[in-house]
Structure 1
């Protein structure tokens, strides 16, 4: 109801947790300046159900009541409360009181039957608006429960804090609706006794939440509507006061999908807050001017983890559009369709304020692994990219079995998380589209089976290859040792190399995997002692090889992805898993 402008911030804190409002207008005075302020607050906070009540009808004649009724209806018309019933009452005579009671009871029954989207999945959140101490009880906080439920003895988190880490807490006892209870739930006014928490550790504007959704942020992306009565558009860079829960904090506006926000219009906006707040998807936000003299805009939180850069790109706007969908499952599906490198499911669940993902949250064809998820379209595109990259590698280096999986990731999906990359390879391997041999991936057609004659030759040359040591074995020498033709020996060894059974460093020079693994271990040891750098001279001295052969081996390591050539250095790739089995 109308009140002093200094108390509007208290009304905002209360209204952000309500489903329905009574807008009171005295019949003798008519709408007052604060009536407009409260109407703007209700409208911008998304309260779409209300009853307008004309009070003190005993102090006005019928003509005056009719005029005020028309005036109130005109005020409601351009707002979400348009068409709300208007009831004339008098506390002195009892006029209209029974009708008002009947409306309220009917609204309560209808509200109790509404099935709120994702209601059962929401974690506990209480916006703290008061803290005090009671003898024998300790610190007590009160506020409105915005979501979820809590039981006596339940573990909680107090936030935000100066340390950026939530403060652990426990509900010793609960009072809801002015009586002691074992559980409290969304919609109730609730008092929580917090043992071990000092009163000076708690302030108005903080939150009590379930530990799994504890977060604090100084940036939020919101869907915002500018009040239609504003004279000027809202521009990026505007300084405002943001009300969220029971908190009031200075903020700066950045309009994301337009240059300005016109009166009565909506837009995606990022708020850069001057102090940390708790914020979750769907929490209502209200903006007032920096002097706190009028209400400007309102909306709801879309993302408490927004990017600081590239926040206006088409991809980001598509993600924000997905976050406007009604259910968590739809929002996740929309994000997966828009995000090129997947979604962090734990981060999503926390931002949504959910205990867990809905059971039907993962769309068909999506890839999920270790708390990460990738959309079906992106998965199919990356699978095609992997197959194309392998084919190109085989065409360019037919004597190599294939690239190390870490190198293949750099070629096709360098920004994809490691768990999703492994899941992608596993899916391709399970479908028979690729083959994995240790840390190497290749197309199945690239590792053709040896003929009987080639198998016999491979068995005969195995001892000579092992005995060759770090120098390696040449095709002509192996052919002389077995009495086979050089052409047949060359074909056999090349096929063994394609299968990963041998390594060809230069044309016709081969090493068995065990020898190459020892050489790789030497390179890694040198790199570990020199900030990941391997010099040819150091490698030459450690292996006892000549400079030419040492360089040939290091260049082979560059090709297969163990190292990377930078000037005269060969830098170890930390993520490479070759020769680590």
Structure 2
């Protein structure tokens, strides 16, 4: 299956099944939850000032709520609604906090001191004294629950750091007081800015190793680093994990952040990016991750993306406790049926059917860091979103001015399409992913160079499924500029744009949902508002831009009017000819909607033919005489009507005029076609009446019968006319063929 980078918990790409099974050999009742990690039994002694581990900590192997996986939790479709319902548990407000900072600056030690839980869970981490993969820990104080995501600081493990920090609510930027700002401090801070982390705090660790003057110098260097960013003016708290200095102050700051933080919506699309997957004895496949949006219930049917594999939730734990459901912002361990651990990888996403798109092509806004190297058109980069890492090619579009959010222009205001994007610049781009990834509008991502793998920039997904078309054109630049400006009422605009781009084919709410990052019910509400505002028109379950409907209406009326001019004696434009004539301007649903609307308004008569209500067949004097002569001739000839080939000579008229009048007589029901023959309706009425009367005149208990010989003799005709007439009587259900004869029914 396609998905993110290396499997969770595998520092060097080696399979971890054996380790997972060994770790998961117990059961929840003997101390290991579904997370399959018995680390709590091995937890180190408490650091000074740290609170004792709670019961939830002891039963929650990974320390419970962990990071947000995809970055869409901040600034994507759900947050853009402006609603701030936070997932709570028994009135507790949870905050997901990520650590960031250089290697050996004491991130894990700080988490351990704050929570009493060691976030380093791998043997190699404990042996080497460095964090390699994500670690999780939590603690609760009063009405505040803090879930820590501890990330590795070494430059070799930035990919793992990205998987953890991409969806956090707040960050603790850790800077060692004895070393100050270092390279990974800057890179981690840049990543937090690129992912639009909203707030945080700076922790100056190892404060017990330096004097007050050094603390102030480091504080100044940190201030220079964060100037103009989300951390400008944030608290800077000196702490010591060894002595406990400053830990209470840091806890108070974190509690204040939790009080002021906006929450995640429960009613969004269920979306859980996987950061760990393992097999546990007695349970089978277990995955862990943070529910970015929506909710997941026990026994729910879900899909794994990419790959659209159907799975079922057998059971789930939230914060180490079995629960009937998990809500947005909570970390969950989910026991899955229908998939093996070898079929999973970090970056796979659990969602519902139709919830998200597995895409390989996205349109985005891309910005480079000031100190990054230039990015050339077609460059191969590492694309990180949530827990996913995938290689991608970058096709640069129009240059964008970050100052005013407009497309950078050249001479005369035309958009510029650079071959290379300079450091500190921003542009629109189309990213071609080498493997599918589950993405939606508003997802934030980070770009790293292919080699050496340094962070160079990032951006936001504007369209997870862009239409085919030229990116480097005025129209392409205009479209992306429109998408980029969709803030505030952006969801409504995004839906409106998608409906417009669907053209004459229209689009359903089900098709729109994964493309705009909303549930189907939410899309339906937005569409309802657009319909009420007359920007969009509904036709059954499809939606069309009203301007498109107006254009289709005008074109259809023009086509019918032109047909009347061309063929005034015809009843109207054949319906299928009209449908094909509109081409791509109107699909079948839009065509039927417009035709029926015009009929309801009394403008058109809409049946097998489309005609203006004012249309009348008007014959010239000569045409009227020819029509009357034809009708009289067929009545006079009776059941041996004239051959059409002989009519021009018999009537002294040209073939084309005769054909037009015959077609008119047939439409009016005066003549009836029986195969290649034409009969006057009065003549056929006589035959139908006389044969039908045979049933009443038959002796009691007997069936009236008709055969070819009797029919020919009775009406004085040859077999040439008798056979078509008898078959006509069969179709009219006056007779029914039985063997070589017929009975009157």
Check whether TM > 0.5: yes
Following superposition of structure 1 onto structure 2, how do residues 398-437 of structure 1 map, counting pairs within 5 Å?
A: 398-437=568-607
**145-154 or 407-416, which moves further after superposition?**
407-416
- Structure 1's 437 and 93: CA in aligned 2 closer, same or farther, altered over 3 A? same
Q: Is the 8 A contact 1:367 1:423 kept in 2?
A: no
Q: Structure 1 CA distance, aligned partners of 2:643 and 2:184?
A: 88
Equivalent residue for 2:278? 132
Distance 1:183 1:380 in 2: 47
Tell me by how many angstroms 1:297 deviates.
1.7
Matching residue of 1:537:
none
User: Does the alignment pair 1:332 with 2:492?
Assistant: no
Who is 1:50 aligned against? 200
| 8 Å contact kept, 1:14–1:144 | no
Q: Give the C-alpha shift of residue 25 in structure 1.
A: 1.0
Residue 339 of structure 1, CA deviation: 5.4
Q: What is residue 142 of structure 1 aligned with on the other side?
A: 288
Q: Can you list the C-alpha shifts for 1:22-41, whole angstroms capped at 9, x where unaligned?
A: 21111221111001111111
Q: 1:388 to 1:158 in 2, by over 3 A?
A: same
CA contact (8 A) 1:130 1:143 kept: yes
1:246 alignment partner, one of 387, 404, 419: 387
What is the match of residue 361 of structure 1?
Answer: 527
Name the structure 2 match of 1:562. Answer: none
Please identify, of 23-32 and 364-373, the stretch whose mean Cα deviation from structure 2 is larger. Answer: 364-373
Say yes or no: does 1:348 pair with 2:498: no
Whether the 8 Å contact between 1:158 and 1:168 is mirrored in structure 2 is: yes
Q: Please give the per-residue CA displacement for 1:462-490, whole angstroms capped at 9, x wherever unaligned.
A: 99499869948969978x9xxxxx9xxx8
Aligned-pair Cα RMSD in Å: 3.9
Aligned mate of 1:202, from 340, 344, 358 = 344
CA deviations over 1:117-136 (Å, ceiling 9, x no partner): xx454221111121111111
Equivalent residue runs for 1:182-331 within 5 Å: 182-213=324-355, 215-232=357-374, 234-257=375-398, 258-259=417-418, 260-291=420-451, 293-324=453-484, 325-326=486-487, 327-331=490-494
Deviations 1:218-268 (A, max 9, x none): 222222222222242x22201101112212111110112232433333332
Which residue is equivalent to 1:527?
none
Q: 1:472 to 1:17 in 2, by over 3 A?
A: farther
Q: Unpaired runs of 5+ in structure 2? A: 1-99, 102-152, 399-416, 679-719, 721-745
What SS class does the counterpart of residue 171 from structure 1 fall into? strand
Structure 2 equivalent of residue 155 of structure 1: 301
Moved more, 245-254 or 60-69: 60-69
Q: Match for 1:104 among 251, 254, 268?
A: 254
Residues 405 and 138 (structure 1), Cα distance of their counterparts in 2 relative to 1, 3 Å cut: same
> Are 1:376 and 2:554 an aligned pair?
no
What is the alpha-carbon distance in structure 1 between the residues aligned to residue 677 and residue 607 of structure 2?
Answer: 15
The 3-state SS of whatever aligns with 1:69 is helix
Q: Tell me if structure 2 keeps the 8 A contact 1:472–1:511.
A: no
* Structure 2 counterpart of 1:574: none
The answer (yes or no) to whether the contact 1:130–1:141 under 8 Å persists in 2 is yes
Give the SS at the match of 2:667: coil
Alpha-carbon separation, structure 1, partners of 2:231 and 2:306? 34
Structure 1 residues 58-137: aligned runs within 5 Å:
58-92=208-242, 94-112=244-262, 114=263, 119-137=265-283
Aligned to 1:179: 321
Map of 1:540 onto structure 2: none
**Which has the greater radius of gyration?**
2
Q: Give the C-alpha shift of residue 369 in structure 1.
A: 3.3
Residue 188 of structure 1: how far off its partner (Å) = 1.9
Listed as ranges, the gaps of 5+ residues in structure 1 are 481-485, 504-509, 519-543, 545-581
Aligned length: 493
State the match for 2:189 in structure 1: 39
**Could you say if the C-alpha distance between residues 513 and 213 of structure 1 is closer, same or farther in structure 2, counting changes exceeding 3 Å?**
farther
CA distance in 2, matches of 1:473, 1:316: 65
Structure 2 match to 1:571: none
Within 5 Å, give how 1:435-446 maps onto structure 2: 435-438=605-608, 440-446=609-615
Matched, 1:501 2:667: yes
Q: Secondary structure at the match of 2:584?
A: coil
SS of the residue corresponding to residue 108 of structure 1 reads: helix
Q: Any idea what the Cα deviations from partners look like across 1:272-304, whole Å, max 9, x if unmatched?
A: 111222222222221100025311121222323
Q: 1:570: which partner in 2? A: none
Q: Is the Cα–Cα contact under 8 Å of residues 548 and 585 in structure 2 kept in the other structure?
A: no
> What is the distance in 1 between the residues matched to 2:662 and 2:235?
84
Q: Deviations over 1:510-531 (max 9, x none)?
A: 986886999xxxxxxxxxxxxx
Q: Measure the CA separation in 1 of the matches of 2:587 and 2:499.
A: 14
Tell me the CA shift for residue 50 of structure 1.
2.2
Do 1:399 and 1:495's aligned partners in 2 also have CA atoms closer than 8 Å? Answer: no
CA distance in 1, matches of 2:634, 2:512: 58
* Contact 2:239 2:245 survives alignment (8 Å): yes
Q: Offset of 1:81 from its aligned partner?
A: 4.2
Is the Cα–Cα contact under 8 Å of residues 329 and 358 in structure 1 kept in the other structure?
no
Task: Give the TM-score, by structure 1 length.
Answer: 0.74
